[in-house]
Structure 1
Amino acid sequence: MSDNGCGFPAPGLHSFLFQPIFTVAGFEFNKVMLLALIATGVVVTFFTLAFGKAKVVPGKLQLAAEAGYDFVRRGIVYETLGKKEGEKFVPLMVSLFFFIWIMNIWSVIPLAQFPVGSIIAYPAVLAAIVYLIWVPLTFKRHGFVGGWKNITGYDASLGPVKWLVSAIEFFSNLLVRPFTHAVRLFANMFAGHLMLVMFTVASWYLLNSWMIPAAGVSFAMTMAMIVFELFVQAVQAYVFVLLACSYLQGALAEHH
């Protein structure tokens, strides 16, 4: 931790590195993996308890689960894909939304205090899952030739420009789209965590340096950043699922 000669432990990339909890046959299991597994357990346990013995008149837990499920189903999936096409994708999108949200929210939970989404591997795998559903679905719906037309946006009416447009669309859809899908989530969580660490460490540093007013301002900023992060964490889960639905909608749409 570089202090730049002033004793301040500036946060940096080292803030995202963790020593392994244990190592088995060269495989290192660290804190981030543990948080991802716990997030999975939280989502599965929550919905199992809520819907395992569902009642006509729901209790508080079932009511909360139904509200969250319905928010994703009606507010994201139906709005993007429509009820008929979207219904079969609802379980996937609900799982993605709540898994991403819980992974993000670890950032402000004591002892955890780290957003899993700030490690690029996790958003990358989730984006890859969407990609591996979207591309085959495109060809299944439109056939081989129609699938490529859908992906490249080929339009004979554009004349000579059609090849340039097709090349740009091909690059954008097959290469750029999955990259930006993952990076959008990663970058927001990475930057948010870095800011939280900065103000938290600064508060402690200033307090130990007897700069009480400055420490108070830094602590107030920390509290404000926590509130802001709670908002961003939910928004990023929403945006990720919304984009996933948008990609699937494009795969199902008729090419003109």
Structure 2
Amino acid sequence: MNDVHRTAWGPGLPVRPRTRERTLSVITLSLEGSFHAPNLDDELFPAQMRHYDLLFQNFAGGLFALDRLMLIRILMTVILCVVFAIGMRKPKLVPSGFQNVVEYCLDFVRIHIAEEILGKKEGTRYLPIISTIFFAVIFMNVPTLIPGLNISPNVRIGFPIALALLGYFTMIYAGVKRYGAGKFLKSSVVIPNLPPFLHVLAVPIEFLSTFVIRPVTLALRLMANFLAGHLILVLLFSATNFFFWQFNGWTAMAGVTILASVAFSLYECIVIFLQAYIFALLVSVYIELSLHADSH
């Protein structure tokens, strides 16, 4: 007979024993006013999931299994597409309303990132890639402040790697298209007018710097910033819980930590925009360096 989750209002949906036990444990701790340490394993490490079931985990050997972070990614991707579909559904020569907001955001990326770094001609050519990266980063970071979501999907390295690879291959495409593969590679790693014996050291360093470190730092910077922010918020809210429920003599500290939590949440609003700007700006810079690799 299936286990059924029963409440004071009647029977509910069938649940698995381990899910029911964890739910009852959390409720009991909450009713007793006890503190329980946050557990990030289920959010950040899908392979370590012990308490939550994955969607489609039994389909195709789990290749298409979805956890909470993946569902948030899908949700924000759909919202991003809907926003631009509505904003540009019936574009007018003189924009107004929601179209005006969308075009203002696009103009910010075009003028202050793409054209400022690449110039008008090349900025227009690579604007679709740069604007896609900019808005993808913003929309994937916003859930960190949305109640019920409370985490950015970028705290897991997968999506930052995907964006970094998009910028990386665009950078290589720009250089190869202009110079050809051989000349682009040579111009990127060989420093002119350098004594020949120093090329033994300089070429590997330039290769690592240009073709390895750039995409790695792009991905790690985005992930690390929001992972650190998430951990700080978890610790601040957990400290509020701890001081308020268990350290009766330190209850006033709960007010301090909750104010710090609110202040850091406001700071995260700045970081959400700043990380999108930096990511898109660096991709533009890397494309510009590829377009002018011969002036190394």
Same fold (TM over 0.5): yes
Alignment deviations for residues 47-86 of structure 1 (CA, whole Å, 9 cap, x no partner) = 1111110123322211111111000010000011111111
Match of residue 187, structure 1, among 201, 218, 224: 224
Q: Is the 8 A contact 1:22 1:30 kept in 2?
A: no
Q: Is the 8 A contact 1:11 1:194 kept in 2?
A: no
TM-score, normalised on structure 1? 0.91
The aligned amino acid for 1:188 is: N
SS across alignment from 1:250: helix
For residues 1-256 of structure 1, the aligned pairs below 5 Å read: 8-10=36-38, 13=41, 15-17=43-45, 19=52, 20-23=54-57, 24-25=59-60, 26=62, 27-209=64-246, 210=248, 211-256=250-295
* Cα RMSD (Å): 2.0
Would you say how many aligned residue pairs link Structure 1 and Structure 2? 252
1:3 corresponds in structure 2 to: none
Pick which of 149-158 and 118-127 moved more. Answer: 149-158
Quote the Cα distance in structure 2 between the aligned partners of 1:48 and 1:8: 44
The aligned amino acid for 1:68 is: C
The aligned amino acid for 2:142 is: I
Pick which of 95-104 and 7-16 moved more. Answer: 7-16
Q: Is the 8 A contact 2:157 2:223 kept in 1?
A: yes
SS across alignment from 2:188: helix
Greater relative contact order, per chain length (Cα 8 Å cut-off, separation 6+): 1
The aligned amino acid for 2:284 is: C
TM-score, normalised on structure 2? 0.79
CA displacement at 1:150 relative to structure 2: 2.5
Instruction: Indicate the percent of aligned positions where both proteins have the same amino acid.
Output: 30
SS across alignment from 2:272: helix
Q: Is the 8 A contact 1:76 1:245 kept in 2?
A: yes
Structure 1: tracts of 5 or more residues without a match: 1-5
Quote the Cα distance in structure 2 between the aligned partners of 1:135 and 1:254: 11
**Cα 1:91/1:38, change in 2 over 3 Å:** same
Whose Rg is larger? 2
